[in-house]
A and B are shown apart, each in its own frame.
Chain A
Amino acid sequence: MATTARIFGNKRVGFGQWVIYALIGIAGLFYGTPLAWLFLAGTRSGSSLDSDPPFTFGSFEQMAQSWANLASFNDFQILNWALNSLIYSVGGVTLSLIACIPAGYALATSDFPGRRVILILTLVAMITPSQSIVLPIFLEMNLIGLNNTYLGLILATGFFPFGVYLAYIHFSDSPPKGVLDSARIDGCSRYQLFTHIALPLARPIVSLVAFFSFLANWSNYYLAVVLLSDDKIYNLPVGLTALVSGSGALTNLAATGMPIKKPEVILAAILVILPVLVVFLIAQRFVRSGMLSGAEKG
């Protein structure tokens, strides 16, 4: 196919490429539709949501109105939750980075007793659904009195075996062995090897672990709903869920008189996913950049 395309000039696209583009198009449409709907729906009024076709664009005035209703509710409580979410996320990401990156490095570069066991346990912890250990975590936090505190949730989310595994994979072949050898001869201690050589070259993996950790923390609902009972320290997912279910916006019960209706609920959903998109756009630049070019041959 490719040769036919070349014979007729570069503008002709071969059959194989058509298939690829078609598949990409279908997949994009299939998985992109709900997202597109969500962002469009954020501009629509309640009546428009009920009666107009699904992909109608409302108006930015309507969006601003919904936002005002959502944000000002209960003395701007939603901003408080957003701030809480930020605290939990920054705390969780920081803690997991401090733990994961050195742990992955140690597992990948040194041989110590119990290394294999720790690796296997990491994998086991990674595939264990977090929901299944929510109750023990709750009991543990209760025991040490950290239930319903910022620190409690941050400590619990600092446990991030997936990050350890990612870091382990990264450090298994980076930096190249020769670079580490050369640094050892130059006089680096084991600790300096990490701080002077491995860590500065690990920006892609630090970004990646931070991104996944942020993703998990920002949208953390289940653990948060179990550990947090005071609505002042709710994070966004827990707060919004409480708000939405309290308002009856998504049920057909009689209206509660709260200004939280379908448009506000949709905006709340956008509010949760938007920061994730932004963080991804920032992080991917670092994740993709070739940090190692020039170290060895090439």
Chain B
Amino acid sequence: MAKVELKGVAKSFGAVRVLDPIDLCVEPGEFVAFVGPSGSGKSTLLRMIAGLESVSEGDVLIGGEEVTFAEPSERGTAMVFQSYALYPHMNVYDNIAFNLRLAKRPKSEIDAQVREAARTLRLEDLLERSPAQLSGGQRQRVAIGRAIVRHPKVFLFDEPLSNLDAALRVQMRLEIARLHREIGATMIYVTHDQVEAMTLADRIVALDDGAIQQTGAPLDLYARPSNRFVAGFIGSPKMNFIPAEVIDGTRAGVGLRLHAGDGTSFGLGALKSAKAGPVSVGVRPEAIRLHIAGGTPPAGTLEIPARVDSVERLGNVTYTYIDVGSDELLTVQSGGDVQLKSGDQALAAIQPESFHVFDAAGKTILSASAAPART
């Protein structure tokens, strides 16, 4: 268990800056996920911690020790790669034992370590196999076994589940969570899949465009995204965005007009002041209710006329895509089934408290105050 500190760590390739200076502290035993789209610099950052990529500026400290220029093997880290990266000419046993052999450990100790790792990862029956004879999930378990026997201070995972099929991914996700519970080591996990980040991490670092956008607990990022990027990236299905305009700031709070429907306007009491001009309003798919015209909505509810574009029924949950006259279709998530079909007219009911408001630059100026209503 060790603390990982990044102090102003930046990366440039020639004149091209791919990662802005980053300050980050990963506490001992913490599970941190770097999440972001491809090209966000998350893998580069991880590889700099591993020592596989040189650091252009700043310092990397592991366990309080300065390792910015140390060889990868001297940092006490172990890494699991997306591509598994097993040694194809060695069987499973030799793959796991390779590091210990390089370190010239006694044979009996190597054997004990390898067998223990194999037991933890349920690989005992596969030790004589070559990597070519293993399935994807088994290969990734071997790769994790190779990491475990090093007893690293820090585990680094570079999109370890991306090559696995959906069912296996869920299973391996649980195994990684169990591994973290059992050995309690510091883990840094890179993924573009926000579900993996949400389910595994104690803390998420959301990266985009070579810079940290927000750091925080998964549900914090979900409930209080600091900008439009994080709002859109965390959460599945992703948050709906509706272009809007600040119309005046004179009544209690700020008035907003949506560029949707017939230009619905409403006041947001929680928003004390805002410059007039374009903003965007975000609303989670589960915060929208759909109902057929008629009936009286609860007080304060906004109702926007909508046309149902398509309906996806997954059994336990239904996604309805509705057209409210804004640029993009809105996604509505409801539990169970809905009695709507493509082409139907309906009303989309939204509590104004569930709106997130972002300024023109994408920065959050208001987070939703209402917890999404239960269905």
Query: Contact string, A195-219, partner B, CB cutoff 8 A, digits 1/0?
Result: 0110011000000000000000000
Flag if B72 contacts A297 (CB, 8 Å): no
User: Looking at chain B, what size class is its interface with the partner chain?
Assistant: 20 to 34
A103 in the interface (beta carbon within 8 A): no
Given known A184-B72, A294-B133, contact A178–B103 (CB-CB < 8 A): no
B134 CB contacts on chain A under 8 angstroms = 294
B84 CB contacts on chain A under 8 angstroms = 178, 295-297
B133 CB contacts on chain A under 8 angstroms = 294
Tell me which of B75-83, B338-346, B355-363 binds A: B75-83
Flag if A295 contacts B86 (CB, 8 Å): yes
Q: Which of B85, B89, B130 contacts A201 (CB 8 A)?
A: B89
CB distance from A284 to the nearest CB of B (A): 20
Flag if A187 contacts B85 (CB, 8 Å): no
Given known A201-B88, A294-B131, A295-B88, contact A178–B83 (CB-CB < 8 A): yes
Flag if A179 contacts B86 (CB, 8 Å): yes
Given known A294-B130, A294-B133, A297-B136, contact A184–B73 (CB-CB < 8 A): yes
Flag if A182 contacts B88 (CB, 8 Å): no
Complex: how many Å from CA A30 to CA B87? 46
Flag if B89 contacts A186 (CB, 8 Å): no
Choose among A176, A186, A197, A295 the residue with the greatest number of B CB atoms under 10 Å from its CB: A186
Query: Contact string, B230-261, partner A, CB cutoff 8 A, digits 1/0?
Result: 00000000000000000000000000000000
Flag if B132 contacts A185 (CB, 8 Å): no
User: Looking at chain A, what size class is its interface with the partner chain?
Assistant: 20 to 34
Given known A184-B73, A185-B50, contact A295–B85 (CB-CB < 8 A): yes
Number of A-B contacts (CB under 8 A): 87
Complex: how many Å from CA A174 to CA B88? 12
Complex: how many Å from CA A176 to CA B81? 12
Complex: how many Å from CA A185 to CA B67? 14
Complex: how many Å from CA A184 to CA B72? 6
A183 CB contacts on chain B under 8 angstroms = 87, 98
Flag if A185 contacts B131 (CB, 8 Å): no
Given known A187-B73, A188-B102, contact A295–B87 (CB-CB < 8 A): yes
Q: Which residue in chain A gives the minimum CB-CB distance to B78? A: A185
B146 in the interface (beta carbon within 8 A): yes
Flag if B83 contacts A185 (CB, 8 Å): no
Q: Which of A181, A182, A184, A291 contacts B89 (CB 8 A)?
A: A291
Q: Which of B52, B73, B150 contacts A188 (CB 8 A)?
A: B73
Q: Which of A270-298 contact B (CB under 8 A)?
A: 291-297
Flag if B89 contacts A178 (CB, 8 Å): no
Query: Contact string, A152-190, partner B, CB cutoff 8 A, digits 1/0?
Result: 000000000000000000000001101101111111100
A142 in the interface (beta carbon within 8 A): no
Q: Which of B69-114 contact A (CB under 8 A)?
A: 71-73, 77-79, 81-89, 98-99, 102-103
A187 CB contacts on chain B under 8 angstroms = 73, 99, 102-103
Q: Which residue in chain B gives the minimum CB-CB distance to A182? A: B85
A192 in the interface (beta carbon within 8 A): yes
Flag if B103 contacts A176 (CB, 8 Å): no
Q: Which residue in chain B gives the minimum CB-CB distance to A186? A: B99
Flag if B73 contacts A293 (CB, 8 Å): no
B99 CB contacts on chain A under 8 angstroms = 186-187
Choose among B73, B78, B81, B89 the residue with the greatest number of A CB atoms under 10 Å from its CB: B89
Complex: how many Å from CA A184 to CA B77? 11
A296 CB contacts on chain B under 8 angstroms = 83-86
Complex: how many Å from CA A187 to CA B77? 11
B38 in the interface (beta carbon within 8 A): no
Q: Which residue in chain A gives the minimum CB-CB distance to B152? A: A185
Choose among A185, A188, A295, A296 the residue with the greatest number of B CB atoms under 10 Å from its CB: A185
B12 in the interface (beta carbon within 8 A): no
Given known A181-B52, A184-B72, A185-B72, contact A292–B81 (CB-CB < 8 A): no
Flag if A178 contacts B73 (CB, 8 Å): no
Complex: how many Å from CA A14 to CA B163? 39
CB distance from A252 to the nearest CB of B (A): 60
Flag if A200 contacts B89 (CB, 8 Å): yes
Residues of A within 8 A of B (CB): 175-176, 178-179, 181-188, 192, 196-197, 200-201, 291-297
Q: A187-B102, A201-B89 provided; 15 other pairs, C-beta below 8 A? A: A178-B85, A179-B87, A181-B72, A181-B79, A181-B81, A182-B81, A184-B71, A185-B52, A186-B73, A186-B102, A186-B146, A196-B102, A296-B84, A296-B85, A297-B163
Question: Would you mind naming 18 contact pairs between A and B with Cβ atoms under 8 Å apart?
Answer: A178-B81, A179-B85, A181-B72, A182-B79, A182-B85, A183-B98, A185-B52, A185-B73, A186-B98, A186-B150, A187-B102, A196-B102, A201-B88, A201-B89, A292-B88, A294-B131, A295-B87, A296-B86
